[in-house]
Structure 1
């Protein structure tokens, strides 16, 4: 681990590079490959499955799991951020969620309808790991960058994320469309499904491998001096949200903007 000063170019680049590492999840798992793979599993069924004591449509099932994961993240994020600020080890929390998410992506290799509960657990933990790691990743920005640097380095992170995720997606799509070129055996349908499973493993490996550069340079975190781990410290994250909400009531333009953003984002995420 390198001890670099706030604002150091190498530190900022290392922070931004985490987007290169983790954005493969959003493109391959959340958007492009896993939804097609999941739908293909039901090709010889009526798109319904008996699970959790209910008879559910396959699209509804995965939507419920996704919504539940987001609900869990929204509750535990303020809780974990309050604890992380106290113990001064933000990086350990970020690593934990990163590895949970990445290993769960690899676990999707075994996703099938015969072991649906295990598969859904991996899918749930993948979402939890991705969004949980982002909580601590984003919270690093004011710690490592001065205010005048934050917009530029944040934009660089987004750019690296798009580039990295597209590179892996192109490789994955090539595997799926031309599996025999990659030595993947079976009929066309079987080989394509195998290639999709391999792509899930590749996402996890990519995520873990490239995040090491970020972890090498990111500081451990700054411990709040003189504090004991009390109930008030644990719930600091919720207290901060309450303060922000109070300030928001006084800023009408920002309040309107956030309302509009919520509606537009909700529409995009739903589609």
Structure 2
């Protein structure tokens, strides 16, 4: 199997799983959850924010341990398969949701999102062995570009089902779209499981009590000693804050557009298509920029773009201006995520790659999504204004930016390898 084909199968997984992200986390399901399942009640914002936060918290708690277990056992692909299958099955089961099933639908979403987010720990860990240090930025950028292309594709495919609006009268078509998302995810994720192979090592059980106990001890050791590697610690802390804001924007963007600006379903579909298009461009272009000027400088640039995005979204007084704001958000979303993954890969030693991506994607990546959605949902429900809730995210971006300016480029990695 050629290296290029392995890289392509890895990229195709991003194409597959972003269909879940855009349909189930960003666009269709959040609106379906609030408008249909929760009958448009303001409490729907709080319950949705709680569901997102709880799923992220659970992933944050288990990811480092499972990452360490995957490194120890060499069964990274098996873990990825289990998480992917969980997400696909739970997404398909949401076909049976409807009015009056809020708790059941929330539980299924939490399970589906755990499968999606948890799988990223093992998926991202492959980057280090598929790309050289000189091409990490480009390959990471290509991955996100493929993801946004997948999101654009699923939106085009689902447009006929969603054209009737995300309302009770069109509920049967919306529920069908969840089945198609599950199929799309499963179909295009399959090549990765057929082509990638885990490295040969001593056969060890990944889920025995002894292996899990060893993994817990490794994680405890890492937590106790992580401050010995200041660049890695500062980056993870900075990532915690700015990623919190980014994930909150993603989770509430469709609700914000519809409730604040009165977007129709058709306008939302066009809006998210434009966002995915600029995100593809941002991922590719800033992938080259990252390899040229380094991931740290790239992340700082993208955070300034995010400041502009949030301010424009708050001050926008027309749909047209919000469309342009969304396009700018897509550009910064693709670039900041690709540069962050590249930064983490550069700071991580090969022998601990899945464990440390467990901290990146799990503890700091997913736990960062706990505060933002909860704060946004509660502020929105109490203040009755989503603009006020959106303004709270500026503090998260500012904190992340200040911490990011103190991060070196490779100190942590050298310290681990010493």
| TM interval, short-chain normalised | 0.7 to 0.9
8 A contact 2:76–2:198 mirrored in 1:
yes
Aligned residue-pair number? 245
Matched position secondary structure for 1:161: helix
Matched, 1:12 2:7: yes
Deviations 1:117-171 (A, max 9, x none): 3222210011100111000001111233332232221111111101111111122
Decide whether the 8 Å contact of 1:81 with 1:136 is kept in 2.
Answer: yes
C-alpha deviations, 1:192-215, integer Å up to 9, x for none?
A: 222211111111111111111111
Q: Report how far residue 260 of structure 1 moved.
A: 5.0
Shift of 1:238: 4.3
Equivalent residue number for residue 211 of structure 1: 189
Stretches of structure 1 that go unaligned for 5 or more consecutive residues are 49-56, 180-187
1:192 maps to 170
1:111 aligns with: 97
Which residue in 1 is equivalent to 2:245? Answer: 267
Structure with the greater relative contact order (CA < 8 A, sep ≥ 6): 1 or 2? 1
> How far apart, in 1, do the equivalents of 2:97 and 2:56 lie?
21
The answer to whether the 8 A contact 2:33-2:48 is kept is: no
Compared CA separation, residues 65 and 86, structure 1 to 2 (3 A): same
In the alignment, what sits opposite 1:52? none
Give the distance between the partners of 1:177 and 1:209, measured in 2 at CA: 25
Asked if structure 2 preserves the Cα contact closer than 8 Å seen for 1:98 and 1:130, the reply is yes
Conservation of the 8 A alpha-carbon contact between 1:105 and 1:201? yes
Distance in 2 (alpha carbons) for counterparts of 1:226 and 1:213: 25
Q: 1:121 aligns with which of 101, 107, 131?
A: 107
Q: Classify 1:194/1:69 alpha carbon distance in 2 versus 1 (closer, same or farther; 3 Å).
A: same
Residue equivalent to 1:140: 126
Structure 2 regions of 5+ residues with no counterpart? 250-418
- The 8 Å contact of residues 82 and 236 in structure 1, kept in 2 or not, is answered as yes
Q: CA deviation at 1:230?
A: 6.8
Output the aligned Cα RMSD.
Answer: 2.7
- Greater share of helix: 2
Q: How do residues 16-95 of structure 1 correspond to structure 2 at under 5 angstroms?
A: 16-41=11-36, 47=41, 57-95=43-81
- Alignment TM-score, normalising by the size of structure 2: 0.53
Check 1:64–1:208 CA distance in 2 against 1; reply closer, same or farther (3 A cut).
Answer: same
